[in-house]
Structure 1
Amino acid sequence: MLDSLLQWLGIVKKQRTPDMKKFLIAGLGNIGAKYENTRHNIGFKMLDALAEEEGVSFETRKLGDMASFRYKGRTFVLLKPGTYMNLSGKAIQYWMKMEKIEPDNLLVITDDINLPFGTIRLKAKGSDGGHNGLKDIQEKLGTTKYNRFRFGVGDDFAKGRQVDYVLGEWSPEETEKLKERLKRGAALVRSFGTAGLANTMNTFNNT
Protein backbone atom coordinates (compact mmCIF):
# COMPACT_ATOMS: atom_id res chain seq x y z
CA MET A 1 0.00 0.00 0.00
CA LEU A 2 2.73 2.44 1.01
CA ASP A 3 4.88 1.49 -2.00
CA SER A 4 1.93 2.10 -4.34
CA LEU A 5 1.30 5.51 -2.81
CA LEU A 6 4.97 6.46 -3.05
CA GLN A 7 5.08 5.31 -6.68
CA TRP A 8 1.99 7.40 -7.42
CA LEU A 9 3.71 10.39 -5.87
CA GLY A 10 6.82 9.71 -7.95
CA ILE A 11 8.98 9.11 -4.88
CA VAL A 12 9.74 5.46 -5.57
CA LYS A 13 10.53 4.19 -9.04
CA LYS A 14 8.63 1.12 -10.12
CA GLN A 15 10.90 -1.89 -10.47
CA ARG A 16 11.56 -3.07 -14.00
CA THR A 17 10.28 -6.59 -14.54
CA PRO A 18 12.82 -8.93 -16.17
CA ASP A 19 11.87 -10.22 -19.62
CA MET A 20 12.38 -13.98 -19.36
CA LYS A 21 12.05 -14.40 -23.13
CA LYS A 22 14.95 -12.07 -23.85
CA PHE A 23 18.56 -13.24 -23.93
CA LEU A 24 21.83 -11.34 -23.96
CA ILE A 25 24.48 -13.09 -26.04
CA ALA A 26 27.86 -11.45 -25.39
CA GLY A 27 30.74 -12.42 -27.63
CA LEU A 28 34.13 -11.44 -26.23
CA GLY A 29 36.89 -9.89 -28.29
CA ASN A 30 39.05 -6.84 -28.88
CA ILE A 31 37.99 -3.97 -31.11
CA GLY A 32 40.06 -2.92 -34.09
CA ALA A 33 41.03 -4.37 -37.45
CA LYS A 34 44.30 -5.87 -36.18
CA TYR A 35 42.37 -8.18 -33.82
CA GLU A 36 39.56 -9.10 -36.19
CA ASN A 37 40.84 -12.51 -37.29
CA THR A 38 42.61 -13.56 -34.08
CA ARG A 39 41.77 -16.57 -31.95
CA HIS A 40 40.95 -14.34 -28.97
CA ASN A 41 38.15 -12.76 -31.03
CA ILE A 42 36.11 -15.91 -31.59
CA GLY A 43 33.27 -14.33 -29.58
CA PHE A 44 32.98 -11.48 -32.07
CA LYS A 45 33.32 -13.89 -34.99
CA MET A 46 30.57 -16.15 -33.67
CA LEU A 47 28.16 -13.24 -33.31
CA ASP A 48 29.03 -11.96 -36.79
CA ALA A 49 28.18 -15.40 -38.21
CA LEU A 50 24.91 -15.56 -36.28
CA ALA A 51 23.92 -12.03 -37.31
CA GLU A 52 24.62 -12.86 -40.95
CA GLU A 53 22.44 -15.97 -40.77
CA GLU A 54 19.62 -13.95 -39.24
CA GLY A 55 20.00 -11.06 -41.68
CA VAL A 56 20.65 -8.40 -39.05
CA SER A 57 23.41 -5.80 -38.76
CA PHE A 58 25.36 -4.41 -35.83
CA GLU A 59 25.20 -0.78 -34.85
CA THR A 60 27.43 1.05 -32.42
CA ARG A 61 25.71 1.73 -29.10
CA LYS A 62 26.98 2.65 -25.67
CA LEU A 63 29.91 0.41 -24.67
CA GLY A 64 29.68 -1.82 -27.72
CA ASP A 65 28.19 -2.91 -31.04
CA MET A 66 24.74 -4.47 -30.91
CA ALA A 67 22.18 -6.31 -33.00
CA SER A 68 19.01 -8.25 -32.19
CA PHE A 69 16.63 -10.72 -33.76
CA ARG A 70 13.54 -12.76 -32.89
CA TYR A 71 13.45 -16.54 -33.08
CA LYS A 72 10.64 -18.83 -31.95
CA GLY A 73 9.15 -16.18 -29.68
CA ARG A 74 12.46 -15.25 -28.09
CA THR A 75 14.50 -12.07 -28.47
CA PHE A 76 18.25 -12.45 -28.84
CA VAL A 77 20.29 -9.33 -28.09
CA LEU A 78 23.82 -9.65 -29.47
CA LEU A 79 26.59 -7.63 -27.84
CA LYS A 80 30.20 -7.16 -28.90
CA PRO A 81 31.68 -5.13 -26.02
CA GLY A 82 33.66 -2.10 -27.15
CA THR A 83 35.63 -1.94 -23.91
CA TYR A 84 38.38 -4.36 -24.98
CA MET A 85 38.60 -7.87 -23.63
CA ASN A 86 39.84 -7.08 -20.14
CA LEU A 87 36.89 -4.79 -19.35
CA SER A 88 34.13 -6.89 -20.92
CA GLY A 89 32.12 -6.95 -17.70
CA LYS A 90 31.37 -3.23 -17.82
CA ALA A 91 29.43 -3.47 -21.09
CA ILE A 92 27.69 -6.70 -20.13
CA GLN A 93 26.57 -5.37 -16.76
CA TYR A 94 25.25 -2.18 -18.36
CA TRP A 95 23.22 -3.91 -21.08
CA MET A 96 21.84 -6.56 -18.74
CA LYS A 97 20.37 -3.71 -16.73
CA MET A 98 19.15 -1.71 -19.72
CA GLU A 99 17.54 -4.72 -21.41
CA LYS A 100 16.17 -6.16 -18.13
CA ILE A 101 17.95 -9.47 -18.60
CA GLU A 102 18.51 -11.86 -15.71
CA PRO A 103 21.86 -13.71 -15.25
CA ASP A 104 20.18 -16.99 -16.24
CA ASN A 105 19.52 -15.47 -19.67
CA LEU A 106 23.10 -14.30 -20.22
CA LEU A 107 25.44 -16.30 -22.46
CA VAL A 108 29.09 -15.30 -22.82
CA ILE A 109 31.07 -16.63 -25.79
CA THR A 110 34.81 -16.91 -25.30
CA ASP A 111 37.95 -18.67 -26.52
CA ASP A 112 39.48 -21.51 -24.49
CA ILE A 113 43.04 -22.80 -24.87
CA ASN A 114 42.21 -25.83 -22.71
CA LEU A 115 39.94 -27.29 -25.39
CA PRO A 116 41.07 -28.70 -28.75
CA PHE A 117 40.41 -26.49 -31.76
CA GLY A 118 36.73 -26.36 -32.70
CA THR A 119 35.43 -28.04 -29.55
CA ILE A 120 32.33 -26.30 -28.19
CA ARG A 121 31.24 -26.58 -24.61
CA LEU A 122 28.39 -24.92 -22.74
CA LYS A 123 28.62 -24.46 -18.97
CA ALA A 124 26.36 -22.85 -16.38
CA LYS A 125 29.17 -21.63 -14.14
CA GLY A 126 32.88 -21.96 -13.46
CA SER A 127 36.11 -20.16 -12.71
CA ASP A 128 37.65 -17.59 -15.02
CA GLY A 129 40.46 -20.04 -15.81
CA GLY A 130 42.93 -17.17 -16.07
CA HIS A 131 40.88 -15.53 -18.83
CA ASN A 132 40.92 -11.76 -18.21
CA GLY A 133 37.60 -11.16 -19.93
CA LEU A 134 35.81 -13.72 -17.75
CA LYS A 135 37.61 -12.39 -14.70
CA ASP A 136 36.21 -8.91 -15.27
CA ILE A 137 32.70 -10.24 -15.87
CA GLN A 138 32.90 -12.18 -12.61
CA GLU A 139 34.00 -9.06 -10.73
CA LYS A 140 31.32 -6.82 -12.25
CA LEU A 141 28.46 -9.31 -11.78
CA GLY A 142 29.72 -10.49 -8.39
CA THR A 143 29.26 -14.16 -9.28
CA THR A 144 30.71 -17.04 -11.28
CA LYS A 145 27.21 -18.34 -11.98
CA TYR A 146 26.66 -17.12 -15.50
CA ASN A 147 26.43 -19.22 -18.65
CA ARG A 148 29.45 -19.42 -20.89
CA PHE A 149 29.99 -20.93 -24.32
CA ARG A 150 33.62 -21.90 -24.58
CA PHE A 151 35.13 -22.40 -28.03
CA GLY A 152 38.33 -24.41 -28.16
CA VAL A 153 41.29 -22.74 -29.87
CA GLY A 154 43.86 -25.37 -28.86
CA ASP A 155 47.20 -24.91 -27.11
CA ASP A 156 49.75 -25.24 -29.90
CA PHE A 157 52.21 -22.76 -28.44
CA ALA A 158 55.57 -22.87 -26.68
CA LYS A 159 55.90 -22.10 -23.00
CA GLY A 160 55.47 -18.39 -22.35
CA ARG A 161 53.92 -17.71 -25.77
CA GLN A 162 50.24 -17.96 -24.82
CA VAL A 163 49.51 -14.29 -25.47
CA ASP A 164 51.13 -14.42 -28.91
CA TYR A 165 49.09 -17.51 -29.71
CA VAL A 166 45.64 -16.21 -28.74
CA LEU A 167 46.36 -12.86 -30.38
CA GLY A 168 47.62 -14.66 -33.46
CA GLU A 169 45.50 -15.24 -36.55
CA TRP A 170 43.86 -18.50 -37.50
CA SER A 171 45.87 -20.81 -39.73
CA PRO A 172 44.50 -21.47 -43.27
CA GLU A 173 43.42 -24.96 -42.14
CA GLU A 174 41.63 -23.57 -39.08
CA THR A 175 39.97 -20.88 -41.19
CA GLU A 176 38.48 -23.52 -43.48
CA LYS A 177 37.20 -25.64 -40.59
CA LEU A 178 35.74 -22.58 -38.84
CA LYS A 179 32.93 -22.33 -41.38
CA GLU A 180 31.20 -25.45 -40.08
CA ARG A 181 32.08 -24.70 -36.46
CA LEU A 182 30.50 -21.25 -36.66
CA LYS A 183 27.28 -22.74 -38.01
CA ARG A 184 27.28 -25.23 -35.17
CA GLY A 185 27.88 -22.46 -32.66
CA ALA A 186 25.05 -20.35 -34.06
CA ALA A 187 22.72 -23.33 -33.67
CA LEU A 188 23.86 -23.71 -30.06
CA VAL A 189 22.98 -20.09 -29.30
CA ARG A 190 19.47 -20.47 -30.70
CA SER A 191 19.00 -23.70 -28.77
CA PHE A 192 20.13 -22.02 -25.55
CA GLY A 193 17.28 -19.54 -25.86
CA THR A 194 14.60 -21.99 -26.96
CA ALA A 195 15.43 -25.47 -25.62
CA GLY A 196 17.13 -24.36 -22.41
CA LEU A 197 20.55 -24.86 -20.90
CA ALA A 198 20.38 -28.55 -19.97
CA ASN A 199 18.97 -29.72 -23.30
CA THR A 200 21.48 -27.62 -25.21
CA MET A 201 24.39 -29.00 -23.18
CA ASN A 202 23.26 -32.55 -23.92
CA THR A 203 22.94 -31.84 -27.63
CA PHE A 204 26.02 -29.74 -28.35
CA ASN A 205 28.77 -30.26 -25.78
CA ASN A 206 31.95 -31.68 -27.26
CA THR A 207 30.44 -32.08 -30.71
Structure 2
Amino acid sequence: MNKIKIIIGLGNPLSKYRNTRHNVGSWYVLELANLFNLKLKKKTKFLGYYSYFFYLNKKIFLFIPNVFMNINGLSVLKIANFYSIKLEEMFIIHDELDLLPGIIKLRNGYGSNGHKGLKNIIGKFKKKTVYKRLSIGIGRPNNKKDISDFVLSKPTNLDKKKIFSSIRCSINKLFVNNF
Protein backbone atom coordinates (compact mmCIF):
# COMPACT_ATOMS: atom_id res chain seq x y z
CA MET A 1 0.00 0.00 0.00
CA ASN A 2 2.97 2.33 0.26
CA LYS A 3 2.73 3.32 -3.42
CA ILE A 4 -0.93 4.37 -3.25
CA LYS A 5 -1.59 7.95 -4.39
CA ILE A 6 -5.37 7.85 -4.79
CA ILE A 7 -8.28 5.98 -3.22
CA ILE A 8 -11.26 5.70 -5.57
CA GLY A 9 -14.76 4.75 -4.46
CA LEU A 10 -16.96 3.48 -7.26
CA GLY A 11 -20.68 4.13 -7.44
CA ASN A 12 -23.38 5.82 -9.47
CA PRO A 13 -24.31 9.51 -9.44
CA LEU A 14 -27.73 10.95 -8.63
CA SER A 15 -29.45 10.92 -5.27
CA LYS A 16 -31.70 7.99 -6.22
CA TYR A 17 -28.64 5.70 -6.29
CA ARG A 18 -26.88 7.11 -3.20
CA ASN A 19 -28.07 4.35 -0.85
CA THR A 20 -27.87 1.41 -3.26
CA ARG A 21 -25.56 -1.60 -3.12
CA HIS A 22 -23.68 -0.43 -6.20
CA ASN A 23 -22.47 2.60 -4.25
CA VAL A 24 -20.57 0.86 -1.46
CA GLY A 25 -17.28 2.08 -2.96
CA SER A 26 -18.39 5.69 -2.56
CA TRP A 27 -19.63 4.91 0.98
CA TYR A 28 -16.09 3.78 1.80
CA VAL A 29 -14.49 7.00 0.54
CA LEU A 30 -17.06 9.11 2.38
CA GLU A 31 -16.30 7.23 5.63
CA LEU A 32 -12.59 7.81 5.08
CA ALA A 33 -13.22 11.51 4.41
CA ASN A 34 -15.18 11.72 7.68
CA LEU A 35 -12.28 10.12 9.55
CA PHE A 36 -9.95 12.88 8.34
CA ASN A 37 -12.63 15.62 8.63
CA LEU A 38 -12.57 16.26 4.90
CA LYS A 39 -15.28 17.50 2.59
CA LEU A 40 -15.18 16.18 -0.96
CA LYS A 41 -15.42 18.98 -3.52
CA LYS A 42 -17.07 18.68 -6.90
CA LYS A 43 -14.50 19.15 -9.63
CA THR A 44 -16.05 19.44 -13.10
CA LYS A 45 -12.78 18.86 -14.97
CA PHE A 46 -12.43 15.47 -13.23
CA LEU A 47 -16.13 14.58 -13.51
CA GLY A 48 -16.16 13.74 -9.84
CA TYR A 49 -15.64 14.66 -6.21
CA TYR A 50 -12.23 14.80 -4.63
CA SER A 51 -10.17 15.83 -1.66
CA TYR A 52 -6.80 14.88 -0.25
CA PHE A 53 -5.06 14.36 3.04
CA PHE A 54 -1.58 13.73 4.27
CA TYR A 55 -0.82 10.44 5.93
CA LEU A 56 2.71 9.68 7.13
CA ASN A 57 3.94 12.71 5.14
CA LYS A 58 2.37 11.41 1.96
CA LYS A 59 -0.38 13.14 -0.04
CA ILE A 60 -3.27 10.80 -0.79
CA PHE A 61 -6.25 11.79 -2.93
CA LEU A 62 -9.80 10.62 -2.31
CA PHE A 63 -12.02 10.44 -5.37
CA ILE A 64 -15.59 9.50 -6.25
CA PRO A 65 -16.44 9.63 -9.97
CA ASN A 66 -19.66 11.50 -10.73
CA VAL A 67 -20.54 9.43 -13.78
CA PHE A 68 -22.34 6.14 -14.13
CA MET A 69 -20.49 3.02 -13.05
CA ASN A 70 -20.03 1.55 -16.52
CA ILE A 71 -18.24 4.67 -17.83
CA ASN A 72 -16.31 5.79 -14.75
CA GLY A 73 -12.97 5.08 -16.44
CA LEU A 74 -13.25 8.44 -18.19
CA SER A 75 -13.48 10.26 -14.86
CA VAL A 76 -10.67 8.23 -13.27
CA LEU A 77 -8.44 8.83 -16.31
CA LYS A 78 -9.00 12.61 -16.09
CA ILE A 79 -7.80 12.91 -12.50
CA ALA A 80 -5.01 10.38 -13.06
CA ASN A 81 -3.67 12.31 -16.06
CA PHE A 82 -3.85 15.64 -14.23
CA TYR A 83 -1.89 14.37 -11.21
CA SER A 84 0.30 11.86 -13.12
CA ILE A 85 -1.10 8.86 -11.26
CA LYS A 86 -0.63 5.40 -12.73
CA LEU A 87 -3.11 2.55 -12.45
CA GLU A 88 -0.73 0.68 -10.14
CA GLU A 89 -0.81 3.68 -7.76
CA MET A 90 -4.59 3.45 -7.33
CA PHE A 91 -6.63 1.74 -4.65
CA ILE A 92 -10.10 1.10 -6.05
CA ILE A 93 -13.05 0.25 -3.80
CA HIS A 94 -16.09 -1.47 -5.33
CA ASP A 95 -19.11 -3.68 -4.67
CA GLU A 96 -18.77 -7.45 -5.06
CA LEU A 97 -21.63 -9.83 -5.81
CA ASP A 98 -19.56 -12.92 -5.01
CA LEU A 99 -19.03 -11.93 -1.37
CA LEU A 100 -21.69 -11.90 1.33
CA PRO A 101 -22.62 -8.53 2.84
CA GLY A 102 -19.98 -7.47 5.32
CA ILE A 103 -17.21 -9.59 3.83
CA ILE A 104 -14.32 -7.69 2.27
CA LYS A 105 -11.39 -8.84 0.24
CA LEU A 106 -8.18 -6.97 -0.53
CA ARG A 107 -6.81 -7.98 -3.90
CA ASN A 108 -3.95 -7.30 -6.25
CA GLY A 109 -4.81 -8.07 -9.80
CA TYR A 110 -4.98 -7.27 -13.46
CA GLY A 111 -8.60 -7.98 -14.19
CA SER A 112 -12.10 -6.92 -13.27
CA ASN A 113 -13.71 -10.23 -12.26
CA GLY A 114 -16.68 -9.17 -14.38
CA HIS A 115 -17.19 -5.81 -12.63
CA LYS A 116 -18.09 -3.37 -15.41
CA GLY A 117 -16.80 -0.31 -13.55
CA LEU A 118 -13.38 -1.88 -13.06
CA LYS A 119 -13.38 -3.15 -16.65
CA ASN A 120 -13.99 0.39 -17.92
CA ILE A 121 -11.15 1.82 -15.81
CA ILE A 122 -8.71 -0.87 -16.94
CA GLY A 123 -9.71 -0.29 -20.57
CA LYS A 124 -8.95 3.43 -20.34
CA PHE A 125 -5.39 2.85 -19.16
CA LYS A 126 -4.60 0.46 -22.05
CA LYS A 127 -1.88 -1.25 -20.04
CA LYS A 128 -2.12 -4.55 -18.24
CA THR A 129 -0.74 -3.84 -14.80
CA VAL A 130 -1.36 -4.91 -11.23
CA TYR A 131 -3.50 -2.55 -9.18
CA LYS A 132 -4.98 -2.76 -5.68
CA ARG A 133 -8.67 -3.09 -5.03
CA LEU A 134 -10.94 -3.69 -2.12
CA SER A 135 -14.04 -5.73 -2.87
CA ILE A 136 -16.95 -5.13 -0.49
CA GLY A 137 -19.51 -7.91 -0.40
CA ILE A 138 -23.12 -7.10 -1.23
CA GLY A 139 -24.35 -10.67 -1.84
CA ARG A 140 -26.06 -12.00 -4.91
CA PRO A 141 -29.72 -12.37 -5.88
CA ASN A 142 -31.06 -15.89 -6.37
CA ASN A 143 -31.95 -15.20 -10.00
CA LYS A 144 -29.11 -14.04 -12.29
CA LYS A 145 -31.61 -12.07 -14.36
CA ASP A 146 -32.19 -9.81 -11.35
CA ILE A 147 -28.57 -8.65 -10.93
CA SER A 148 -29.06 -5.16 -12.35
CA ASP A 149 -32.12 -4.52 -10.18
CA PHE A 150 -30.30 -6.01 -7.17
CA VAL A 151 -27.19 -3.81 -7.33
CA LEU A 152 -29.37 -0.74 -7.90
CA SER A 153 -31.55 -1.47 -4.85
CA LYS A 154 -31.02 -0.60 -1.21
CA PRO A 155 -29.61 -3.31 1.05
CA THR A 156 -31.67 -4.51 3.99
CA ASN A 157 -30.96 -2.76 7.28
CA LEU A 158 -29.03 -5.80 8.51
CA ASP A 159 -26.94 -5.99 5.32
CA LYS A 160 -26.23 -2.26 5.45
CA LYS A 161 -25.10 -2.59 9.06
CA LYS A 162 -22.75 -5.46 8.07
CA ILE A 163 -21.39 -3.48 5.12
CA PHE A 164 -20.65 -0.36 7.19
CA SER A 165 -19.09 -2.46 9.94
CA SER A 166 -16.73 -4.02 7.39
CA ILE A 167 -15.93 -0.60 5.89
CA ARG A 168 -14.99 0.82 9.30
CA CYS A 169 -12.98 -2.28 10.21
CA SER A 170 -11.08 -2.09 6.91
CA ILE A 171 -10.30 1.60 7.33
CA ASN A 172 -8.96 0.97 10.84
CA LYS A 173 -6.76 -1.90 9.67
CA LEU A 174 -5.44 -0.08 6.62
CA PHE A 175 -4.42 3.01 8.52
CA VAL A 176 -2.86 1.09 11.37
CA ASN A 177 -0.92 -1.41 9.22
CA ASN A 178 -0.33 0.22 5.83
CA PHE A 179 0.45 3.23 3.71
Fold in common (TM above 0.5): yes
CA apart distance, 1:189: 4.7
Question: How big is the alpha-carbon RMSD for the aligned residues of Structure 1 and Structure 2?
Answer: 1.9
After superposition, give the CA deviation of every residue in 1:158-189 in whole Å (9 maximum; x if it has no partner): 23101111111010111222332121232355
Aligned residue for 1:138? 122
d(CA) in 1 for partners of 2:177, 2:21: 23
Counterpart Cα distance in 1 of 2:19 and 2:97:
16
- TM-score, normalization: structure 1? 0.77
Q: Name structure 2 gaps, 5 residues minimum.
A: none
The CA distance in 1 between the partners of 2:32 and 2:159, in whole Å, is 19
Q: Of the candidates 46, 70, 75, which is equivalent to residue 86 of structure 1?
A: 70
Q: Please identify, of 100-109 and 60-69, the stretch whose mean Cα deviation from structure 2 is larger.
A: 100-109
2:121 partner amino acid: I
Q: Would you say the 8 A contact 1:89–1:137 is kept in 2?
A: yes
1:157 and 1:165 in contact (8 A); partners too = no
* AA in 1 matched with 2:162: K
After superposition, the Cα gap between the structure-2 partners of 1:144 and 1:137, relative to the gap in structure 1 and judged at 3 Å, is farther
Quote the sequence identity (%).
29
Determine the structure 1 residue equivalent to 2:171: 186
* 1:29 pairs with one of 11, 16, 27: 11
What residue identity is the alignment partner of 1:57? Answer: K
**Residues 1:103 and 2:87 are matched in the alignment:** yes
Whichever residue aligns with residue 66 of structure 1, its letter is Y
Q: What CA deviation, in whole Å up to 9, does each residue of 1:127-170 have, x standing for no partner?
A: 22221101101110122522211111111332310111111101
Please give the alpha-carbon distance, in whole angstroms, between the structure 1 residues aligned to 2:151 and 2:17: 10
Give secondary structure in 2 for the equivalent of 1:70.
strand
1:102: Cα distance to partner? 2.9
CA distance in 1, matches of 2:165, 2:144: 30
SS state of the match for residue 147, structure 1?
Answer: strand
1:39 shift after superposition: 0.5
Q: How does 1:120-199 map to 2 (within 5 A)?
A: 120-142=104-126, 143=128, 145-190=130-175, 194=179
The 1:115/1:153 distance shift into structure 2, 3 A limit, reads same
Q: Partner letter of residue 187 of structure 1?
A: N
Provide the C-alpha distance between the structure 1 equivalents of 2:137 and 2:78, rounded to a whole number of angstroms. 28
Q: TM-score, normalised on structure 2?
A: 0.89
Larger Rg: 1
Contact persistence 1:37–1:169 (CA under 8 A):
yes
Question: Which one of the candidate residues 29, 40, 51 is aligned to 1:67?
Answer: 51
Number of equivalences: 175
Please give the alpha-carbon distance, in whole angstroms, between the structure 1 residues aligned to 2:175 and 2:82.
Answer: 22
* SS of aligned partner of 2:52: strand
> Can you give the 5+ residue segments of structure 1 that lack an aligned partner in the other structure?
1-19, 195-207
